[in-house]
Each structure stands twice: as C-alpha cells, then as structure tokens.
Amino acid sequence: MYRKIKFFTNKDYEILNPYDAIIYDKRNFFELLFTFLIEENVLINLLFCESILEPLWLRLVFFYFDLSINFAMSALFFSDDYIDERSTVPADLRVF
C-alpha cells in the first residue's frame, strides 16, 4: 500500500519518481506534468525555466550538447547500407 514518507520541503517532492509523486504530491496531474517537462526536457527547460543556479548560457550549452549527441547517434545507427537496403525492398513490404 502506501509508504509512510515525511516531506518537509519542495526538494523532498522533487526526488520522488513520477509514480510516487502522483500518489504523495498534492498537486494535480497537469501541474506535475508541466513540472516534469520543465525539469527533464532540454528544449522546454531552455525556453521556460528561470533559474539562478542554472543560467541561460549553461542551459544553452546543455541544449547544444544534447542536440549534438542526438545527431551523432543518428549518424552512427542510420548508415548508408540501411538506406540502400531499404530502397531495394518493394513499397508494399516496407515498414515506416
């Protein structure tokens, strides 16, 4: 059932995983969703988060780093061989 947890500050709520936050946190679902999106999504964090501890230049660096890693991983795993092989498969057998 429910665990007995004592919360003193908002920081205590932030360390909960999303499932426990829905149970213990008294905010509604949309407030929790918006909070998780601001904290975890790099682009939304860049645009909507105002923080003294993480200034804009640092969030821009994180965004650039995340974008670079995503492009690099896409380039590694989406090779020319895969594209050539996909072009030889008939259109009715392709999976999009």
Residue 37 maps to a domain: yes
Q: Look at the pTM and tell me if it is higher than 0.75.
A: no
Distance of CA 92 to the CA centre of its chain: 35
Residue 94 maps to a domain: no
Cβ-contact 54, 78 below 8 angstroms:
no
Write down the pLDDT at residue 34: 82
- How far is 14 from 11, CA to CA, in rounded Å? 5
DSSP-derived letter for residue 8 is: -
Cβ-contact 64, 58 below 8 angstroms:
no
- How far is 25 from 32, CA to CA, in rounded Å? 9
Count how many residues are written for the chain.
96
- Tell me which amino acid residue 58 is: L
Q: Dump pLDDT digits (tens) for 19-59.
A: 777 777 777 888 878 878 887 787 887 777 777 777 888 88
How many structural domains are present in the chain? 1
Residue 96 maps to a domain: no
- How far is 31 from 10, CA to CA, in rounded Å? 14
Q: Over the chain, what is the mean pLDDT?
A: 76
Residue 54 maps to a domain: yes
Q: Domain range spanning residue 20?
A: 10-89
